[in-house]
């Protein structure tokens, strides 16, 4: 699936990141409440894109030598059902 092949700036080889971009999620308070209702304790970070700085709620940031192609897809899809889909990201750095 294309979402897993995406490499974002700062994502290292073998790193898997599940995040919500609070800048594009709509209401920040509602997005954070939905994230916390799903059992996450997000870490708030920022990332500088060419279009400007975005605030991210990092839900998972893990490092693996190898990972299944469908890893975290269920969680990603669950987030898509409660948060603006444009704001939900699942990034994986390709292992070299």
Q: What CATH number should be reported for the domain holding residue 29?
A: 3.30.70
| pLDDT the model gives residue 7 | 45
Asked if 85 and 77 touch (Cβ cutoff 8 Å), the reply is no
| pLDDT the model gives residue 74 | 93
Domain count, the chain: 1
| pLDDT the model gives residue 3 | 42
Per the structure, the complete domain to which residue 8 belongs is given by 2-92
| pLDDT the model gives residue 58 | 93
| pLDDT the model gives residue 4 | 41
Confidence of residue 6 (pLDDT cuts 50, 70, 90): very low
User: pLDDT digits over 20-69, tens only?
Assistant: 999 999 899 999 999 999 999 999 988 877 888 888 999 999 998 887 87
């Amino acid at each position: 699936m294309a979402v897993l092949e995406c490499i974002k700036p700062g994502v290292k080889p073998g790193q898997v990141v599940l995040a919500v971009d609070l800048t594009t999620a709509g209401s920040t308070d509602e997005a954070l409440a939905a994230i916390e209702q799903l059992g996450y304790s997000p870490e708030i970070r920022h990332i500088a894109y060419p279009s400007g700085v975005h605030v991210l709620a990092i839900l998972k940031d893990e490092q693996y030598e190898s990972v299944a192609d469908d890893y975290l897809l269920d969680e990603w899809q669950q987030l898509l059902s409660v948060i603006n889909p444009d704001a939900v990201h699942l990034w994986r750095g390709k292992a070299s």
